[in-house]
Chains A and B, each alone.
Chain A
Amino acid sequence: MDRDGIRHVQSERLRETVERVYFNVPYYRNKMQEAGIGPESIRSIDDIAKLPYTTKQDLRDNYPFGLFAVPMSEIVRVHASSGTTGKPTVVGYTRNDISTWSEVMARTLTSAGANRNDFIQVAYGYGLFTGGLGLHYGGEKIGASVIPISGGNTVRQIQLMHDFGSTVLACTPSYALFLAEAIQESGINRNDLKLRVGVFGAEPWTENMRREIEDKLRIKAIDIYGLSEVIGPGVASECQVQEGLHINEDHFYPEIIDPDTLRVLPEGSTGELVFTTITKEGLPLIRYRTRDLTRLTYKRCTCGRTMVRMEKCLGRSDDMLIIRGVNLFPSQVETVLLEMNEIKPHYLLIVDRVNNLDTLELKVEVDEAFFQDKISQLESLRQKLQNNLENSLGLGIKVTLVEPKIIERSEGKSKRVIDKRKF
Chain B
Amino acid sequence: MIIHQLSIFLENKSGRLTEVLEALGEENIRITALSVADTTEFGILRLLVSDPDKAREILKKQNFTVNLTEVISVMAPNEAKYYAKILKILSDLDISVEYTYAFSVGDKSIIILRCSNSENAIKALKSHEMELLKASDLYKI
Say yes or no: is B51 at the interface (Cβ < 8 Å to chain A).
no
Q: Which of B11, B37, B44 contacts A406 (CB 8 A)?
A: B11
* Chain B: CB-nearest residue to A405: B63
Residues 295 to 310 of chain A near chain B (Cβ within 8 Å): none
A168 → chain B closest CB, angstroms: 43
Residues 45 to 99 of chain B near chain A (Cβ within 8 Å): 46, 60, 63-67, 69, 98
B49 → chain A closest CB, angstroms: 15
Identify 15 new A-B residue pairs, CB closer than 8 A, beyond the known A368-B65, A378-B44, A401-B9. A368-B66, A371-B65, A371-B67, A372-B69, A373-B46, A373-B67, A375-B39, A375-B44, A379-B39, A400-B11, A400-B41, A401-B41, A403-B10, A403-B63, A404-B65
Q: Is the CB of A382 within 8 A of B9?
A: no
Q: Is the CB of A374 within 8 A of B42?
A: no
**Interface code B95-111, partner A: CB below 8 Å = 1, 0 otherwise?**
00010000000000000
With A373-B46, A373-B69 already in contact, the answer to whether A403 and B41 are too (CB < 8 A) is no
Q: Which of A373, A404, A405 contacts B7 (CB 8 A)?
A: A373
Q: Is the CB of A373 within 8 A of B11?
A: no
Q: Is the CB of B67 within 8 A of A368?
A: yes
Q: Is the CB of A403 within 8 A of B65?
A: yes
CA distance A310 to B29 in the complex (A): 67
**Interface code B102-131, partner A: CB below 8 Å = 1, 0 otherwise?**
000000000000100000000000000000
| Chain A neighbourhood of B7, CB < 8 A | 371-373
Q: Which of A374, A378, A406 contacts B98 (CB 8 A)?
A: A374
Q: Which of B5, B9, B98 contacts A371 (CB 8 A)?
A: B9
| Chain A neighbourhood of B98, CB < 8 A | 374
With A379-B39, A406-B11 already in contact, the answer to whether A373 and B66 are too (CB < 8 A) is no
Say yes or no: is A14 at the interface (Cβ < 8 Å to chain B).
no
Offer 29 A-B interface pairs, CB within 8 angstroms, sorted by A: A366-B9, A368-B60, A368-B65, A368-B66, A368-B67, A371-B7, A371-B65, A371-B67, A372-B7, A372-B69, A373-B5, A373-B7, A373-B67, A373-B69, A375-B39, A375-B44, A378-B9, A378-B44, A382-B41, A400-B11, A401-B41, A401-B42, A402-B11, A403-B9, A403-B10, A403-B11, A403-B64, A404-B63, A406-B11
Residues 134 to 188 of chain A near chain B (Cβ within 8 Å): none
Q: Is the CB of B42 within 8 A of A378?
A: yes
**How many residues of B sit at the interface, in one of the four size bands?**
20 to 34
Q: Is the CB of B41 within 8 A of A373?
A: no
CA distance A375 to B66 in the complex (A): 14
Q: Is the CB of A366 within 8 A of B114?
A: no
Residues 17 to 43 of chain B near chain A (Cβ within 8 Å): 37, 39, 41-42
Please report whether the interface of chain B is mostly helix, strand, loop or mixed according to DSSP. Answer: strand
**Interface code A368-402, partner B: CB below 8 Å = 1, 0 otherwise?**
10011111001100100000000000000000111
* Chain A: CB-nearest residue to B60: A368
B76 → chain A closest CB, angstroms: 24
Chain A interface (Cβ within 8 Å of chain B)?
366, 368, 371-375, 378-379, 382, 400-406
Most buried by B among A373, A378, A382, A403: A373
| Chain A neighbourhood of B5, CB < 8 A | 373
* Chain B: CB-nearest residue to A400: B41
| Chain B neighbourhood of A402, CB < 8 A | 11
* Chain A: CB-nearest residue to B71: A373
**Interface code B124-141, partner A: CB below 8 Å = 1, 0 otherwise?**
000000000000000000
CA distance A80 to B58 in the complex (A): 52
Q: Is the CB of A372 within 8 A of B67?
A: yes
CA distance A311 to B7 in the complex (A): 56
B19 → chain A closest CB, angstroms: 10
* Chain B: CB-nearest residue to A401: B42
| Chain B neighbourhood of A378, CB < 8 A | 9, 42, 44
Q: Is the CB of A373 within 8 A of B63?
A: no
| Chain B neighbourhood of A403, CB < 8 A | 9-11, 16, 63-65
CA distance A404 to B60 in the complex (A): 10
| Chain A neighbourhood of B9, CB < 8 A | 366, 371, 378, 401, 403
A-B interface, 7 closest residue pairs, ranked by CB to CB distance from nearest: A373-B7, A405-B63, A373-B69, A368-B65, A371-B65, A404-B63, A402-B11
CA distance A403 to B11 in the complex (A): 6
CA distance A382 to B9 in the complex (A): 14
| Chain A neighbourhood of B11, CB < 8 A | 400-403, 406
CA distance A373 to B7 in the complex (A): 6
* Chain B: CB-nearest residue to A378: B42
CA distance A406 to B16 in the complex (A): 12
* Chain A: CB-nearest residue to B66: A368
| Chain B neighbourhood of A401, CB < 8 A | 9, 11, 41-42
